[in-house]
Amino acid sequence: MKKPPAASKTPPLATGQLWQIKDSYVQIARVGKTLAEYKMLRKPGQRAVKSQLGSVASVASFLKTNKAKLILVPSKDATAVS
């Protein structure tokens, strides 16, 4: 018996991701063990926006309930600290 195809899961939060929710955006600034720092933007590239902290689970839940779409996936080189 074949298994049904897996439902599309949202990828885990990572630093540098940009998510689109209706007419706004959420940019993930940093992700730690339990907390995620993020910014709510009206348009991509917006400056002077306050950062907010939330648990990783609550940010992921917020993105899932609002049917957010991942529009920017950071490259691995971009997150490297030099």
Which domains are present in the chain? 18-72 (3.30.420)
Per-residue pLDDT of the chain (82 residues; tens, 9 = 90+): 666 555 556 788 999 999 999 999 999 999 999 999 999 999 988 889 999 999 999 999 999 999 999 998 887 655 444 3
The whole-model pTM stands at: 0.77
Distance CA(10)–CA(55), nearest Å, equals 16
Radius of gyration of the chain (CA): 14
For residues 69 and 40, give the distance between their C-alpha atoms in angstroms, rounded to a whole number.
Answer: 14
Instruction: Report the alpha-carbon distance of residue 41 to residue 25 in Å, rounded.
Output: 5
**DSSP H helical ranges for 1-82:** 56-65
Structure tokens at 25: 């955006």
